[in-house]
Amino acid sequence: MPFKMNSASNGQKESAKDVSKTRHSSELLHVLTSMTSGALAGAVAKTTIAPLDRTKIIFQTSQMHFSIKNVLKVISNTVKGQGVLALWRGNSATMARIVPYAAIQFAAFEQLKNLLTPETRDGPALTRFVCGSLAGIIAAFCTYPLDLVRARMAVTQKGRYNGLLDAVRKIHMEEGMKKFYRGFVPTMLGIVPYAGLSFLTYETCKSKYRIWTDGAEPNSMYRMAFGACAGFVGQSTTYPLDIVRRRMQTDGTHGEKNPDYRTIMSTVRSVLRNEGLITGLYKGLSMNWVKGPIAVGMSFTTYDFFHERFQKLIERTP
């Protein structure tokens, strides 16, 4: 009799272990699918808008007046002087940053959402905002040095940096390790509302759509539109901090450093004094209204596309 009881007890323990292993494997697989989908989403979106992104950074980091005429002039001069591929200069650094950034951000958002609202598909608005903000902070902290390198490569002439690794080496040798996190504070101040509002807007639009259509899932066109709205709201709200971040990141790239770009407030004062509010702190925003919604819309849509298909593939796998 005792033997039978021990056998039953051992069987229950083995069964519990199997269930635990299956659960952990499922959770790990969910994280990996989120990261892979996020990486693909970031790569597709950023490669598409890379020429506009590079042009925007050139305006952000100079005192050149922003206008459609000057935008076309910068693009034309770049193509004539350096070739068409120069419009994608710095894209290797962009990919090196955006692939892990998007992978971490989307995976972190999914995990945080499951942690804070495990029993509901669509949590309250505040939860969506908090999850988006925290996901953005985690991703930005992990990949910020690559963002700085990308900005440097975008504003310098061909030959200054021979690729991503050469840029990292030269910045480290010439300016030290601290330089890799210059402009980090304004980035964090901007990422909280930007990532929070982006995820909040997109998830809320999808949630409302399900309510209005009795549970139907939005198609790719609707997702693009929802993502575009998310990008418009997020970037319009935090754009001045993006200007400050870029000025601090690229200071000293073309020669002597500007003493006005040492802190966030001194950078803001300098831009306002020399360039004004709209033509300074909001310089290039209209370009962001074109590229931002496209990039964010493509990013969210691509993520959902791959994530849903990976999930279906996992469900079919025995």
Express each pLDDT in 54-112 by its tens digit. Answer: 888 788 777 777 778 888 888 888 888 888 888 887 787 778 889 999 999 999 999 99
Residues 187 and 278 reside in one and the same domain: yes
Q: What is the mean pLDDT of residues 37-41?
A: 97
Other Cβ atoms within 10 Å of 22 Cβ, number: 10
Residues 102 and 59 reside in one and the same domain: no
**Token reading at 210:** 């399900």
Residues 221 and 158 reside in one and the same domain: no
Q: Which domain range does residue 193 map to?
A: 183-282
Distance CA 269, CA 265 (A): 6
Examine residue 190 and state whether it is found in any structural domain, yes or no: yes
Angle at 93 between CA 85 and CA 71, to 5 degrees: 50
Q: What is the mean pLDDT of residues 141-164?
A: 82
Examine residue 265 and state whether it is found in any structural domain, yes or no: yes
Residues 278 and 305 reside in one and the same domain: no
Task: Give the closest residue to 181 by CA, choosing from 141, 241, 134, 238.
Answer: 141
Question: Which DSSP category does 238 fall into?
Answer: H
Residue owning tokens 């659960």: 23
Residues 123 and 149 reside in one and the same domain: yes
Residues 277 and 188 reside in one and the same domain: yes
Identify whether the C-beta of residue 138 lies closer than 8 Å to the C-beta of residue 153.
Answer: no
Please state the separation of Cα 57 from the chain's center in Å.
16
Q: Collapse the DSSP code of 167 into the 3-class scheme (helix H, G, I; strand E, B; otherwise coil) and give the result.
A: helix
Examine residue 57 and state whether it is found in any structural domain, yes or no: yes
Share of residues in the chain with pLDDT > 70 (%): 91
pTM of the model: 0.77
Express each pLDDT in 129-140 by its tens digit. Answer: 999 999 999 999
Distance CA 112, CA 107 (A): 9
* Residue 159 φ/ψ region, left for φ over 0, alpha for ψ in the -120 to 50 degree band, beta for the rest: left
Task: Give the closest residue to 47 by CA, choosing from 308, 299, 215, 306.
Answer: 299
Residues 58 and 39 reside in one and the same domain: yes
Distance CA 68, CA 240 (A): 20
Residues 190 and 273 reside in one and the same domain: yes
Q: At which of 179, 195, 225 does a domain end? A: 179
What is the pLDDT, as a whole number, of residue 182? 84
Distance CA 168, CA 307 (A): 33
Q: At which of 153, 179, 205 does a domain end? A: 179
Does the pLDDT value for residue 21 go beyond 70? no
What is the pLDDT, as a whole number, of residue 18? 55
Work out the burial of residue 282: count CB atoms within 10 Å of its CB; fewer than 13 is exposed, 13-18 middle, 19 or more buried: middle
Examine residue 135 and state whether it is found in any structural domain, yes or no: yes
Identify whether the C-beta of residue 299 lies closer than 8 Å to the C-beta of residue 227.
Answer: yes
Residues 47 and 112 reside in one and the same domain: no
Please report, as a single letter, which amino acid is at residue 304: D
Count of the separate structural domains present in the chain: 3
Q: What is the secondary structure of 179-224 as a DSSP string?
A: GGGTTHHHHHHHHHHHHHHHHHHHHHHHHHHHHHTTTPPP-HHHHH
Examine residue 310 and state whether it is found in any structural domain, yes or no: yes
Q: What is the secondary structure of 45-69 as a DSSP string?
A: HHHHTHHHHHHHHHHHTS-PPP-HH
Q: For residue 8, name the pLDDT band (cuts at 50, 70, 90).
A: low
Ranges 32-36, 117-121, 131-135, 150-154: which has the least confidence: 117-121
Q: At which of 157, 179, 201 does a domain end? A: 179
Please report, as a single letter, which amino acid is at residue 49: I
Examine residue 123 and state whether it is found in any structural domain, yes or no: yes
Work out the burial of residue 277: count CB atoms within 10 Å of its CB; fewer than 13 is exposed, 13-18 middle, 19 or more buried: exposed
Examine residue 3 and state whether it is found in any structural domain, yes or no: no
Residues with Cβ < 8 Å from 198, sequence gap 6 or more?
Answer: 132, 230, 231, 233, 234, 296
Residues 107 and 53 reside in one and the same domain: no
What is the pLDDT, as a whole number, of residue 17? 57
Residues 199 and 171 reside in one and the same domain: no
Q: Pick from 2-11, 22-31, 53-62 the range whose average pLDDT is largest.
A: 53-62
Examine residue 214 and state whether it is found in any structural domain, yes or no: yes
The residue that leads in pLDDT, 210 or 65, is 210
Residues with Cβ < 8 Å from 139, sequence gap 6 or more?
Answer: 100, 101, 102, 104, 105, 108
